Amino acid sequence: MDQDAEYINEHYLKFEQLLKQFVEIRSVSNTDDDMSACINFLKTTFEKFLHAKVTLIKTAGLPSLVAQISGKTDHTVLFYGHYDTMPGGDRELWKTDPFKLTLKNARYFGRGVGDNKGQLMAQILGIYTYIQLHGTLPFNVTFLVEGEEERGSVNLKTTVSNLHETLLKQVELAVVVDGSINQNGEHVIRLGNRGLFGFELTTKTGENDNHSGNAGNIMTSAAIKLVTVLKKLYDFDEQRVLIPDFYQGVPQGKEIKTDLLEALPYDRKQISSQMGLKTIPDKMEFYQRLMYQPTFNIAGINGGYTGKGLKTVIPHQANVKIDCRLVGNQNIETIREGLETVLATEIQSGRVSINYLGAIPPSTSDLSKSLIDTFAAIIKKATGSVVIEPVMAGTVPNYVWTEVLKVPVVTIPYANYDQHNHAPNENMTKKDFMDGIKISYELAKNLFK
């Protein structure tokens, strides 16, 4: 057994207890939980276990944290994570208490354990293991941990811009640990990610609801108005977005790295089962849809009476929440302007309003082959296998590292593919938590030899 694996096994109960403490501190950003207990726990953990110099960063929203650990050389690597979580959701859909860490069938269950508390704790513990076994790190490590990732990292760009010439001045490489590993259980290096543009449309056709008999044909249903608005934005038959210039910047031809896609594993039956779908596309279409094509998703829609039985009412207000995953060089400002142009008449009349909920550009980083090979060797040493994906289907705010710090960035997820993040029964397998600790240890040991 390797020295690091032996140490991790010997101290695992302590590691598990730290994970338990972290998960059981509520830190739901979308419901304005009090974050002081969570940020103080992290501050204490970084100081006690990594002897880090910790600086709490105030933002216009929830606080961030920068933890600096000195190494032997001038190389400085930034590790990014977030401490905020999604809400617990419907308790009846959970098999366990979402805010109690529960080990069941070799999986840890709890809100945030996969996204992102388990992954962040694995980073801390991997570097802790290196320090315990070898002393001073070979290079400087800076952690930046934010509390608004689940809100769309609305203040991260400003935070990084403000710290660019101070706490983050020496950073030359960013490593983001978030997302899910491959569906086959292999760990992944991701070279880019899709972006996110989220907004809410509200239609209003009166000052109050009306009886559908008394006001039928007189008052327009806000729900029907909402449908007509959606048809101006999306062709449901052709499944194509109608917002002007929406597809500008979508990768074409040689911009799509088919060689990397062809090398990815693909098990149709397994993926279909994990996604809960009866049919999925063939391999190349599957990966191109996930990595190189934008989406237009109705995440939630509401209007009128949705309870048991019938209530004959004409709703005066309805709303829909839409998220678009963006790819390549799609431009959020261009899309926003196109959206407002299409709906200009409705907005001016007061019948439609727009509330913007998230804006994270897509990101791609050109890492050198030697650096990619180094990361691949490290992950393979820690876990036994590795695959390289050109694009992460989900969204992380990697553009801040490439645009603001102007450094390359790589995403290395630690959580299992079926972690159910953002959903009931969020989980992280015990194996993947331990693998994450091992990867972090190997990064500390081998990233700059």
- The per-residue DSSP string of 395-447 comes to ---THIIIIII---EEE---B-TT--TTSTT-EEEHHHHHHHHHHHHHHHHHT
Q: What is the topology classification, in CATH, of domain 195-250+294-360?
A: Alpha-Beta Plaits (3.30.70)
Distance of alpha carbon 188 from its chain centroid, rounded? 15
Phi, psi of 136 (to 5 degrees): -65, 140
| Helix, coil or strand: residue 227 | helix
Q: Looking at residue 366, what is its pLDDT?
A: 81
Neighbours of 428 (CB within 10 A): 31
Q: Looking at residue 275, what is its pLDDT?
A: 84
| Helix, coil or strand: residue 358 | strand
Task: Please state whether beta strands 192-193 and 240-241 pair in parallel, antiparallel, or not at all (unpaired).
Answer: unpaired
Q: Looking at residue 74, what is its pLDDT?
A: 92
| Helix, coil or strand: residue 270 | helix
Quote the CA–CA distance of 19 and 120 in Å, as a whole number: 9
HEC secondary structure over 101-157: CEEECCEEECCCHHHHHHHHHHHHHHHHHHHHHHCCECCEEEEEEECCHHHCCCCHH
CATH code, 3-194+363-446: 3.40.630.10
Task: Please state whether beta strands 317-326 and 195-204 pair in parallel, antiparallel, or not at all (unpaired).
Answer: antiparallel
Residues of the chain with pLDDT under 50: none
Convert the pLDDT of each residue in 389-425 to its tens digit. 999 998 989 999 999 999 999 999 999 999 999 999 9
Those residues with Cβ within 8 angstroms of residue 332's Cβ, 6 or more apart along the chain or in another chain: 195, 197, 326, 359, 361
Give the pair of three-digit tokens for residue 316: 């005066």
Rg (C-alpha) for the chain, rounded Å, is 23
Q: Looking at residue 49, what is its pLDDT?
A: 98
Q: How many residues appear in the chain?
A: 449
Residue 433 in contact with residue 122, Cβ under 8 Å?
yes
Residue 324 in contact with residue 334, Cβ under 8 Å?
no
Neighbours of 305 (CB within 10 A): 12
Quote the CA–CA distance of 94 and 125 in Å, as a whole number: 28
Bond from prior residue into 116 cis (ω within 30 degrees of 0): yes
Angstrom CA distances, 386 to 68, 190, 419, 447, stand at 29, 11, 19, 16
Angstrom CA distances, 260 to 190, 288, 408, 409, stand at 11, 11, 19, 18
Quote the CA–CA distance of 111 and 423 in Å, as a whole number: 9
Phi, psi of 74 (to 5 degrees): -85, -10
Quote the CA–CA distance of 61 and 81 in Å, as a whole number: 17
Phi, psi of 402 (to 5 degrees): -80, -35
Residue 172 in contact with residue 77, Cβ under 8 Å?
yes
Residue 82 in contact with residue 120, Cβ under 8 Å?
yes
Q: What is the model's pTM? A: 0.86
70 DSSP assignment: -
Quote the CA–CA distance of 404 and 75 in Å, as a whole number: 19
Quote the CA–CA distance of 306 and 285 in Å, as a whole number: 37
